[in-house]
Amino acid sequence: IEQSAYHNDKLAMLGKIAAAIAHEIRNPLTSIRGFIQLLLPELQKLGRGEYGRIILDEIDRANEIIYEFLNSSKPSAPDKRKVRVAELLHEVTLLFQSEALLKGCQIDVDPIDDDIIISVDTKQIKQVFLNIIKNAVEVIGESQPERGGRVHIRVQRSNDSVWISFRDNGRGMDAKTLSRLFDPFFTTKSEGTGLGLSVCYRIIKNHGGTIQVDSELSVGTTFRVQLPLH
Ligand code: ADP
Ligand code: MG
């Protein structure tokens, strides 16, 4: 869809204003969180500890939404450096070990050639991997644990690109979900932000890559990220 330059300018401006507001809201939230935490023992004495914990959880949720939003509205230009794909994936999968274990989900990474090197903004690309794996672990977590959830990560080189695939055996998606999953704020989760994949899409596009998805209901989903090699 073609958009007019005027429309794009307006969107960019709105994004900047929203990012500034989101940033400013974070500071008061942080102090509210701190004080509630200090009050927690008093609330517990009153038999109201549960209220305190709900407040903390909700503040965390608000923070998460702001965090994801700020990430998605950040100006594009990636801050690139040379890095091994193996290293990035190793760092990200480590973050999931305890959560995956808890949900009876196994994360397998096939051996990766050490000489597969990309030139990327490592923070942004780690965010992409994280968002994709997080969705997979979440979708596995909601299915019956006896199914033996698995996220399978493979890295392949082809010509001057690297393909990184993330396959899960979660419930898959219907056609309607598939057609909208990269839209900002599209979510099927009661606690979702719907920003994860729109952020991924943007980051990968800014790196000159592509992101594709294949999904089959009650079989699973595969995300494929393609990035230019260094
Ligand atoms: P959120 O996780 O906050 O819902 P995302 O942008 O990360 O937002 O994902 C959007 C939607 O795409 C999810 O709500 C879910 O319906 C669908 N989705 C993403 N990844 C998967 C997956 N691996 N399996 C099934 N559905 C998925
Ligand atoms: Mg998500």
DSSP 26-82: HHHHHHHHHHHHHHHHHHHHTT-HHHHHHHHHHHHHHHHHHHHHHHHHS-S----EE
Render pLDDT for 39-85 as a digit per residue (tens, 0 to 9).
Answer: 999 999 999 999 999 999 999 888 887 877 776 666 556 789 999 99
Look at residue 25 and tell me whether its pLDDT is greater than 60.
yes
Residues in Cβ contact with 226 at an 8 Å cutoff, skipping those fewer than 6 apart: 161, 162, 163, 164, 204, 209, 210, 211, 212
Instruction: State what percent of residues in the chain have pLDDT above 90.
Output: 62
Average pLDDT over residues 83-105: 91
Render pLDDT for 128-158 as a digit per residue (tens, 0 to 9).
Answer: 999 999 999 999 988 765 568 999 999 999 9
Ligand 1 near 179 CB (within 6 A): no
As for the ipTM of the complex, it is 0.99
Average pLDDT over residues 2-13: 62
Q: What is the pLDDT of residue 2?
A: 46
| Average per-residue pLDDT for the chain | 88
Which atom number of ligand 1 is nearest to the Cα of residue 132? 20
Ligand 1 near 155 CB (within 6 A): no
C-alpha angle 198-200-206 in degrees, rounded to nearest 5: 105
Ligand 1 near 189 CB (within 6 A): yes
Alpha-carbon span 4 to 147, nearest angstrom: 49
Q: Tell me how far the alpha carbon of residue 188 lies from the centroid of ligand 2, in angstroms.
A: 10
Ligand 1 near 169 CB (within 6 A): no
Q: What is the pLDDT of residue 143?
A: 77
Q: Tell me how far the alpha carbon of residue 214 lies from the centroid of ligand 1, in angstroms.
A: 13
DSSP for residue 103: T
Report which bound ligand comes closest to the CA of 198.
1
Average pLDDT over residues 124-131: 93
Pairing type for strands 149-158 and 105-109 reads parallel
Q: Give the residue carrying structure tokens 């260094």.
A: 230
Instruction: Identify whether the C-beta of residue 145 lies closer than 8 Å to the C-beta of residue 139.
Output: no
Which atom number of ligand 1 is nearest to the Cα of residue 223? 23
Pairing type for strands 161-168 and 117-120 reads unpaired
- The residue ranking higher by pLDDT, 36 or 78, is 36
Closest residue (by CA) to atom 24 of ligand 1?
Answer: 172
- Which residue spans within 62-195 are E strands per DSSP? 81-84, 105-109, 117-120, 149-158, 161-168
Q: What is the pLDDT of residue 1?
A: 44
Average pLDDT over residues 13-28: 80
Look at residue 3 and tell me whether its pLDDT is greater than 60.
no
pTM over 0.90: no
- The residue ranking higher by pLDDT, 77 or 102, is 102
- What distances in angstroms separate CA 182 from CA 14, 187, 196, one per listed residue? 20, 10, 8
Q: Tell me how far the alpha carbon of residue 39 lies from the centroid of ligand 1, in angstroms.
A: 36
Please count the CA atoms within 13 angstroms of the CA of 9 that sit on its side-chain side.
3
